[in-house]
């Protein structure tokens, strides 16, 4: 009987996330189940980590270009997220010294195209960026391609996240308060 309750809870929780229009790292500490993926999966030596602050979640670390490295990411777990009823994303953040990408992925395979938009450094001042989905750029294996997300693709988002966006060695730091879909 316990298994039925747990399974029911997980199904309801997944449906609720799929319909969620806001992820609040500051107020509700959303993102505890998000994951760090560094370039170590391909032999690189970059390091990234996250921790919650009073205002949000801090994602920081060091990008290394050694051993074909060059990235660190903080991403949601894979689960279907239908963003087709929204036209834009609003992200409140502050960052230092490094451009960070915000990504929309439609497939679990790393080599399948995805969409990304750049979040510029803010000298550690809070900003609220409003970004239309039409501003997202298609990428394939780290290379920019033509195209923006279609309505069908926005229905099939499997993961969102943040990734270092410059293949440049150095420290990075971003604090995210919230992500809203409107």
Which residue range forms the structural domain that includes residue 26? 2-181
Nearby residues of 33 by Cβ (< 8 Å), 6 or more positions away: 76, 77
Average pLDDT value for the chain: 90
The pLDDT of residue 1 is 52
- Which pTM value belongs to this model? 0.87
Coil, strand or helix at 8: helix
pLDDT band at 110; cut points 50, 70, 90: confident
Selected residue with higher pLDDT from 47 and 143: 47
CATH number of the domain that residue 18 is part of = 2.60.120.430
pLDDT digits over 20-70, tens only?
699 999 999 999 999 999 998 788 999 999 999 999 999 999 999 999 899
Coil, strand or helix at 33: coil
Q: How far apart are the first and last CA of the chain?
A: 39
How many domains is the chain partitioned into structurally?
1
Beta-carbon count within 10 A of 151 CB: 10
């Amino acid at each position: 009987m316990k298994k039925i309750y747990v399974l029911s809870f997980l199904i309801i929780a997944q449906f609720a996330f799929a319909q969620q229009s806001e992820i609040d790292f500051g107020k509700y500490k959303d993102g505890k189940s998000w994951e760090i993926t560094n370039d170590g999966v391909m032999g690189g030596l970059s390091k990234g980590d996250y921790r919650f602050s009073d205002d949000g979640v801090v994602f920081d670390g060091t990008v290394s270009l050694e051993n074909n490295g060059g990235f660190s990411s903080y991403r949601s777990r894979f689960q279907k997220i239908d963003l087709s009823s929204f036209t834009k994303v609003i992200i409140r953040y502050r960052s230092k010294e490094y451009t960070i990408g915000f990504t929309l992925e439609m497939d679990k395979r790393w080599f399948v195209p995805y969409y990304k938009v750049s979040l510029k450094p803010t000298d550690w001042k809070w900003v609220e960026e409003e970004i239309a989905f039409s501003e997202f750029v298609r990428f394939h294996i780290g290379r920019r391609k033509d195209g923006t997300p279609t309505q069908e693709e926005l229905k099939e988002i499997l993961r969102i996240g943040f990734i270092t966006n410059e293949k440049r060695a150095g420290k990075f730091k971003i604090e995210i308060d919230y992500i809203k879909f409107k």
